[in-house]
Chains A and B, each alone.
Chain A
Amino acid sequence: MKTVKNLILALVIMGPMLCCESGFLDKKPQKSLLVPTTLGDMQALLDNSRDLMNVSPYLNVITDGEFRLLDAGLNSVARVVQNAYVWSSEPPATQGDWDIPYKQVFYCNVVLDGLAKLTDQASSDEYKRIRGDALFFRGLALFNLVQLFSVPYKAGSADTKMGIPLPLSSDVNLKMPRASLKATYDQVLKDLLEAAPLLAARPLYLTRPSKAALQALLARVYLLMGDYALAAQHADAALALQNSLLDYNTVPTQSAISFPLPLSAVNPEVLFYSRANTSFLNNASVFADSALYSAYSENDLRKKIYFTSALKYKGSYTGTANPFQGLSTDELYLIKAECQARIGAASEALKTLDVLLQKRCVTGRYQPLTALSTQQVLEIIITERRKELVGRGLWWQDLRRLSGDSGFSFNLKRVSSGVTHLLVAGDKRYVFKIPLDELAGNPMEQNP
């Protein structure tokens, strides 16, 4: 009798526990479901490069004033592009430059959450590298977003300014509010610094991050934060890993696209591949601004390599019509030079710049730079950034960060359909509006 009772008790109490312990409910409902669980699955998600992971924002290429859209071509571009072109303050219904970086963040979160469950493999090199890659991609995506949808970083006031939502979990139901600008940059730095020891020295593909790419990205981030010492330090660290420059004397000037496809041929400057998600520069009605074009001297090879004589752009490091927005060594020289100038080493700055510009000048015609004041050196460097980094979205970042800089003042102007549009330094339209579909599903404070 006692045994029967005990048996019943055991069945009633222990039965359910037994089956829970053994992962009864963890069984996949359908075998055909590919549930990303292995390291290979995670890698494959991050290798979704063409359509997602190596895609960058494009609005900055349209708004930075370097390219003109003829009225005739106005109707050949999407409404969101038309609005961006005239710096309209009308909030877009939906905006790819908001959605795509967040989709990248989501993929990274899926990978990071998935890796957290693979603790038994946590010590493998592949595991570490994939984790580093995911952190890098997430940091980059958040950084790209904050350049478009928040005010420029100022050390003193960053914790009072609005940043962006920071989703750090693959749970899409968590509606994140806007974090402060400081918290946003803190997260970007946290991701990147955490990734630093994990990344590959030489990635299998340029679509994957590397140690050099990470240092280059950190240099860019610190520059945008105005922390020139750290920016210089990371630029140096990156250049220590890879400092090769392409001698433009070897680049053909007659090709439809001047540079090779970096993913299949070698471009020694490319550290990390990413393309802007637009064919705007390839539009038949889009031409380089004549002021930009005339800024190149006749000995400057970039004039003929970046542009046709009809001022059509052909100088993307993607080797296609898509603007390049990845990381490359030429930018590092410019960051290093600017930081040197900012911390008072103006002559070193010019020497750094000489290294780059020599490769851009017809052989034997290069005149080393000389300048009088730090401000003049800075102006040279900024001008060179504008001339070197065409189409990379970085000029828009420069316009934003320098608009509060007493030494610089850029006022953009363009005429479209007979209407003159102006964008003066400090204009609130330097911060894009958050798309309406985001606000509808996740109410948050709109940018002014």
Chain B
Amino acid sequence: MKISFISSISSICLCLLSALFSTASAQYLMVGKVVTVPDSASLPGAVIITQGNASGATSDENGVFKLRIPESSAELLISYIGYKPRLIRVSFPLHSPLIVALEADANQLGEVVISTGYQSVPKERATGSFSTVDNALLNRRVSTDLISRLYDVVPGLIANQGKSNARGLLIRGQSTINSGSQPLIVIDNFPYEGDLATINPNDVQSVTVLKDAAAASIWGSRAGNGVIVITTKKGAAGMPTQISFNSNVTFGQKPDQFYQSRISSSDFIDNEIRFFENGRYKALENNINQYPFTPVVELLIARRDQKISPEQALQQIDALRSVDVRNDYAKYLYQPATAQQYALSLRGGSEKQKFFASAGYDRSRASEVGNSSQRFTINLNNSYTLSKRLDVSAGIYFTQTASKQNSQGIPTYTNPLTGFTGGVMYPYAALASDDGSPLALINEYRLSYLDRAVEKGLLDWRYRPLQELSYADNTARLTDYRLQTTLNYKIVGGLKFSALYQYSKGISTARNYYNADTYLARSLINTFSAVDVAGVLTRPIPTGGILDKTESSYSAHNLRTQLDYSRVFGSGELSAIGGFELRDLTRTGSTFRTYGYDDNYASGKAVDYATTFLYFVNPAVSSPIPNVDTQYQETDRYLSYYANAAYTYRRRYTLSASARTDRSNLFGVNANQKGVPLYSLGGAWQISQERFYHAGWLPYLKMRGTFGYSGNSNKNVSAYTTASFGVRGDVGTGAPYAVIQNPPNPELRWERVRTINLGVDFETRSRVLSGSLEYYTKKGLDLIGIMPYPGSSGVKTFTGNYASTAGHGIDLTVSSRIFDKSFKWYADFLLSQVSDKVTRYDAASTSIFYLRNGDGVGTYPLEGKPLYAVYSLSWAGLDPLTGDPQGYLHGEISKDYAALLAVTPENLIYHGPARPKVFGALRNTVSWKSLSLSVNVSYRLGYYYKDQSVSYTQVNTGVPTHGDYSRRWQKPGDEQTTSVPSMPAALNSNRDSFYLYSSALVRKADHIRLQDINLSYMLTGSASGKLPFRSAQLYVYASNLGIIWKAAKGSLDPDYAQSMFPPVRTVSAGVKFEL
């Protein structure tokens, strides 16, 4: 009903249009429209050529094309990649509008239009490296965030999650050292500055990943890490209104507290007894800092002081041996995660108007008790055709996220043997009594001392972690919206002008209220309290709660004006764009704390931040009241010009070029003035279109190559001279003085990445095999690095554009249709190989930094090696007589640990990168009738990680060390079965370091993982005939299913060797209706 109404409107319009044009000239000017079968959606980019003479046209974004024809009749060939071409005879005048419906060709590549954020290009004409993730593939995964849906489906893209500094989303390796390595995220034509978690994946139509210079260099100085272009759903002209509803629920397992090995409570207690007997705690008992003692030590003290009998002490200590605090963590601090998702959308359009509207609601509960979040999204966009030349569109995308961050993490205490606060809790702690009521744990001070403090009038000073969890009131709200408006005006022929403007703003407010009963509030008040000789108590921090409020926001203006030109010249097609762009991004933030806060009246009390107060516990220490108030404001401004052109001849040869210049307030004067463009050149040859090409088994074969530069900018360096004032005046004169921190760098410019990309796209008959193979090289040039500078410059080191990297790799995608009848078996195989290394970095560090941080924990570049690499010291096994670790010094077995550690960086053993060199996935999709099963197996190869192990320095300082403690060498012969050194007679930190940095603990990280499984059942309205919807899909999805194979022994997940636990298994179930 609706369909016929709309189509009749469009028929009338087209009729009028054709009539208008056909009388306008002696030639016949015809107007037609290309649509798809069966859904009648308009098909942009279709090519219309008249047979015999060489005039032609391409359909615009509404599928409409115009063609000038000299004869009164003509034969038109209408074609579009992925569709069966049609030959149509028309004679003028036309009595009805020409609507050409093209049918999808199952034997050809699917319709792929790649969006660069500036234009849409049919994939067949592209020269660069693009990967498109279509809607179906995006929806295969169930998640509340979008980006994780790209994992294991885009060649060259990898998310390294488990490692501290080496983590992050990377496209084709890393071509920077000190700047951000994350790809630029573009949503609906503009870079997105907000939190990616605000994007509702249900609103996303498709994602295009731009990987090489030809693809990305249009984004200029921010494209060096690749670009992820997200296109949200839009209405379509002539599309009947569609309503869709998607809902699912996800359950996640409770994290495994026992994932990382740890010394047993019993072994830990034995060491505490030993330390006690050696008198290690004796001096600390009278320490002015009133360090807390663990229950075992307190029992031993009580026994010594004859407050309890030796038998009682022994009995109570033995009872603690079987207690493991991790059971309590699992019971009280962690929970199974859940997530619910609801998404409703409406889309459709007439000839004059297109619309899309959606609303989404997500709520999730995290694995940590007390943490949860809710997200609400609204998306509206509309476009109107105001005249035949002018159309405008406007959109609003609004999201609001509210989250609770009440989890307090794992409790800690001040370890008396190290004196450090935040020490790992002793392993036999208990969070709750048998009836579940919160227990007090030691934290900063001895319990007996706390009792005395309370007697003097101080607040209760005990620390009950479970009570803290119930008191916590830490909430955050994030509001993010984008307003976008677009104007398109067809000037003449193929020339089009467009102006786009977007305003986006994100406001994030966090409110952390520590009520008067929280430990933090009580402890801070007590810390600064003072009792004078007369017993009078003063409290510089007033009693009551403490409120921390943090607000941060960004606002961005983006303006773009662009001219598009596309025209068919004989057998050639030219499409070009050019424009300028302006960006202004401001970020502001502030944190304010209110002491003595009473939530009932929203009132606080003033405190004296200027005076230094003595600490109650140790009056030798004093400090002002902690002032956490901060404010900042940052502004990024860019002014850019860009142009891009592609010329395709006879649909076989395509040449492309792009250039962009960026100027920014981040760059130096010279870089801005020179305005050196980032550019690319590319070519493609569709061999299968050649007359000489006769390989019928391979109907599609294309080769392409590109070369070009894209950039990356770094906000931590400044083109300006920056200075700081001395805290006090000059020593001699008392005059205020300033020290230059950062010399001016008028040469400061963006980092550049030079990419060469060569690719082959192929497809066999009936798409039994299709895919592409790409080889690329990437060079990171002018990277920000530290450079020793000659003294005559006035500075000794300088942070500037000095470093470089080089990388190369292969991306292979093969899709196979093994069976393609009613039983379908499709397989998609991705393989990426990437090697990157630092080729220049002038500031070298000493070996200990590479050993300590090389595992991706810190960024310590070493020339000739990958940025994150695993290094070690040579391992010569354990001394069979003593169990001491041994290494090789000048080829000889040695136990001179200081000398072993003093090797120069070039003499370290280099194992390999800390991030995968080869990675990919194999996705098998089997479907029969309406039932479909898809299994994704991912693999990562060619990299290393470091296992953790026992540190006797930890043992000796009462820190719960690694569980390898029980595997330590204890008697001659043990060296046959273990490489864990014996307990040393005297503490030797070099011995510990040598073992922990030795190759004995380096493991191959290679593994294969069953990433996820998706099972779905599709019910279509037409199948049953009596269902109230067009289609319904029921699906079940499970992810993080486990490791199938790994090279290293042991229980650790190689990608999460440093993590507390790996990502949990999740199972989701959902349904999706189309009305």
Instruction: State whether B744 touches A170 (Cβ < 8 A).
Output: yes
Number of interface residues of A (CB under 8 A): 68
Is A446 positioned at the interface, with any CB of B under 8 Å from its CB? no
Instruction: State whether B580 touches A103 (Cβ < 8 A).
Output: no
Instruction: State whether B635 touches A28 (Cβ < 8 A).
Output: yes
Residues in A whose Cβ lies below 8 Å from that of B723: 34-36, 41, 44-45
Instruction: State whether A27 touches B582 (Cβ < 8 A).
Output: no
Is B74 positioned at the interface, with any CB of A under 8 Å from its CB? no
Closest to A105 in B: B794
Closest to B562 in A: A12
Q: How far is the CA of A173 from the CA of B787 in the complex (A)?
A: 11
Residues in A whose Cβ lies below 8 Å from that of B740: 36, 45, 106-107, 110
Instruction: State whether A33 touches B718 (Cβ < 8 A).
Output: yes
Residues in A whose Cβ lies below 8 Å from that of B1023: none
Is A163 positioned at the interface, with any CB of B under 8 Å from its CB? no
B586 to chain A, nearest CB (A): 9
Instruction: State whether A44 touches B738 (Cβ < 8 A).
Output: yes
**Contacts A31-B632, A34-B725; is A438 near B791 (CB within 8 Å)?**
yes
Closest to A32 in B: B632
Is A448 positioned at the interface, with any CB of B under 8 Å from its CB? no
Interface residues of B in 653-686 (CB under 8 A from A): 663-666, 672
Q: Beta-carbon contacts of B693-730 to A below 8 Å, as 1s and 0s?
A: 00000000000000000000001001011111110001
Is A435 positioned at the interface, with any CB of B under 8 Å from its CB? yes
Interface residues of A in 193-247 (CB under 8 A from B): 204-205, 207
Instruction: State whether B792 touches A176 (Cβ < 8 A).
Output: yes
**Contacts A44-B725, A102-B794, A172-B794; is A441 near B789 (CB within 8 Å)?**
yes
Which of A34, A50, A95, A263 sits near B791, CB closer than 8 Å? A95
Is A15 positioned at the interface, with any CB of B under 8 Å from its CB? yes
B902 to chain A, nearest CB (A): 20
Instruction: State whether A110 touches B721 (Cβ < 8 A).
Output: yes
Q: How far is the CA of A47 from the CA of B729 in the complex (A)?
A: 9
Closest to B787 in A: A441
**Contacts A48-B730, A50-B731, A437-B788; is A33 near B722 (CB within 8 Å)?**
yes
**Contacts A28-B635, A32-B632, A172-B743; is A442 near B792 (CB within 8 Å)?**
yes
Instruction: State whether B497 touches A437 (Cβ < 8 A).
Output: no
Residues in A whose Cβ lies below 8 Å from that of B499: 11
Interface residues of A in 427-448 (CB under 8 A from B): 435, 437-442
Instruction: State whether B795 touches A106 (Cβ < 8 A).
Output: yes
Residues in A whose Cβ lies below 8 Å from that of B798: 172
**Contacts A27-B637, A172-B794, A175-B790; is A207 near B733 (CB within 8 Å)?**
yes
Instruction: State whether A29 touches B665 (Cβ < 8 A).
Output: yes
Which residue, B641, B664, B730, has most C-beta atoms of chain A within 10 A? B730
Residues in B whose Cβ lies below 8 Å from that of A435: 791
Instruction: State whether A47 touches B730 (Cβ < 8 A).
Output: yes
Which of B491, B715, B744 sits near A29, CB closer than 8 Å? B715
Interface residues of B in 434-458 (CB under 8 A from A): none
Is A49 positioned at the interface, with any CB of B under 8 Å from its CB? yes
**Contacts A31-B634, A33-B718, A41-B738; is A441 near B788 (CB within 8 Å)?**
yes
Is B1066 positioned at the interface, with any CB of A under 8 Å from its CB? no
Is A373 positioned at the interface, with any CB of B under 8 Å from its CB? no
Q: How far is the CA of A170 from the CA of B581 in the complex (A)?
A: 32
Interface residues of B in 740-793 (CB under 8 A from A): 740, 743-747, 788-793
Q: Beta-carbon contacts of B533-571 to A below 8 Å, as 1s and 0s?
A: 000000000000000000000000001010100000000
At the interface with chain B, which of A16-24, A180-188, A382-390?
A: A16-24
**Contacts A29-B665, A176-B792, A437-B791; is A171 near B744 (CB within 8 Å)?**
yes
B501 to chain A, nearest CB (A): 11
Instruction: State whether A205 touches B561 (Cβ < 8 A).
Output: no
Which of B637, B666, B737 sits near A48, CB closer than 8 Å? B737
Q: How far is the CA of A165 from the CA of B791 in the complex (A)?
A: 10
Instruction: State whether B793 touches A442 (Cβ < 8 A).
Output: yes
**Contacts A8-B489, A28-B665, A29-B635; is A438 near B794 (CB within 8 Å)?**
no
Instruction: State whether B580 touches A16 (Cβ < 8 A).
Output: yes
Instruction: State whether A172 touches B738 (Cβ < 8 A).
Output: no
Residues in B whose Cβ lies below 8 Å from that of A30: 632-635, 718
Is A26 positioned at the interface, with any CB of B under 8 Å from its CB? yes
Q: How far is the CA of A99 from the CA of B731 in the complex (A)?
A: 22
Is A98 positioned at the interface, with any CB of B under 8 Å from its CB? yes
B634 to chain A, nearest CB (A): 5
Is B636 positioned at the interface, with any CB of A under 8 Å from its CB? yes
Q: How far is the CA of A211 from the CA of B665 in the complex (A)?
A: 41
Instruction: State whether A12 touches B563 (Cβ < 8 A).
Output: yes
Q: Beta-carbon contacts of B573-598 to A below 8 Å, as 1s and 0s?
A: 00000011010100000000000000
Residues in A whose Cβ lies below 8 Å from that of B746: 171, 173
Interface residues of A in 148-193 (CB under 8 A from B): 164-165, 167, 170-176
Instruction: State whether A173 touches B747 (Cβ < 8 A).
Output: yes
Is A396 positioned at the interface, with any CB of B under 8 Å from its CB? no
Is B24 positioned at the interface, with any CB of A under 8 Å from its CB? no
**Contacts A28-B635, A29-B718, A110-B740; is A16 near B582 (CB within 8 Å)?**
yes
Residues in A whose Cβ lies below 8 Å from that of B44: none
Is A340 positioned at the interface, with any CB of B under 8 Å from its CB? no
Q: How far is the CA of A261 from the CA of B734 in the complex (A)?
A: 14
Is B639 positioned at the interface, with any CB of A under 8 Å from its CB? yes
Q: Beta-carbon contacts of A96-126 to B below 8 Å, as 1s and 0s?
A: 0011001101110110011000000000000
B750 to chain A, nearest CB (A): 14
Residues in A whose Cβ lies below 8 Å from that of B725: 34, 44
Is B735 positioned at the interface, with any CB of A under 8 Å from its CB? yes
Q: How far is the CA of A3 from the CA of B800 in the complex (A)?
A: 48
Interface residues of B in 631-651 (CB under 8 A from A): 632-637, 639, 641
Q: How far is the CA of A205 from the CA of B736 in the complex (A)?
A: 12
Instruction: State whether B791 touches A36 (Cβ < 8 A).
Output: no
Is B732 positioned at the interface, with any CB of A under 8 Å from its CB? yes
Q: How far is the CA of A32 from the CA of B723 in the complex (A)?
A: 10
Instruction: State whether B718 touches A8 (Cβ < 8 A).
Output: no
Q: Beta-carbon contacts of B790-821 to A below 8 Å, as 1s and 0s?
A: 11111110101000000000000000000000
Residues in B whose Cβ lies below 8 Å from that of A261: 732
Residues in A whose Cβ lies below 8 Å from that of B561: 8, 11-12, 15
Which of A41, A110, A167 sits near B744, CB closer than 8 Å? A110
Is A291 positioned at the interface, with any CB of B under 8 Å from its CB? no
Residues in A whose Cβ lies below 8 Å from that of B637: 24-25, 27
**Contacts A16-B639, A49-B733, A438-B791; is A170 near B633 (CB within 8 Å)?**
no
Is B739 positioned at the interface, with any CB of A under 8 Å from its CB? yes
A32 to chain B, nearest CB (A): 6
Q: How far is the CA of A273 from the CA of B739 in the complex (A)?
A: 19
Is A4 positioned at the interface, with any CB of B under 8 Å from its CB? yes
Q: How far is the CA of A409 from the CA of B795 in the complex (A)?
A: 39
Instruction: State whether B665 touches A49 (Cβ < 8 A).
Output: no
**Contacts A29-B715, A173-B747; is A24 near B633 (CB within 8 Å)?**
no
**Contacts A25-B664, A44-B738, A205-B735; is A35 near B720 (CB within 8 Å)?**
yes
Q: How far is the CA of A167 from the CA of B791 in the complex (A)?
A: 11
Closest to A31 in B: B633
**Contacts A8-B491, A16-B639, A170-B743; is A106 near B793 (CB within 8 Å)?**
yes
Residues in A whose Cβ lies below 8 Å from that of B800: 173
**B interface with A by C-beta (< 8 Å):** 489, 491, 497, 499, 559, 561, 563, 579-580, 582, 584, 632-637, 639, 641, 663-666, 672, 715, 718, 720-726, 730-733, 735-740, 743-747, 788-796, 798, 800
Known pairs A12-B579, A113-B744, A441-B790 / 11 extra A-B pairs, C-beta < 8 Å: A11-B499, A16-B580, A25-B663, A30-B635, A33-B718, A49-B730, A50-B732, A102-B791, A172-B743, A273-B732, A442-B792
The 3 A-B residue pairs with the shortest CB-CB distance in the complex, in nearest-first order: A106-B794, A441-B790, A442-B790
What are 24 residue pairs bridging A and B, where the CB atoms are less than 8 Å apart in the complex? A12-B497, A24-B637, A24-B665, A29-B635, A33-B722, A36-B721, A36-B723, A45-B723, A47-B735, A47-B738, A48-B726, A49-B735, A95-B791, A99-B791, A102-B791, A102-B794, A106-B795, A107-B794, A110-B721, A173-B745, A173-B746, A173-B793, A205-B735, A207-B730
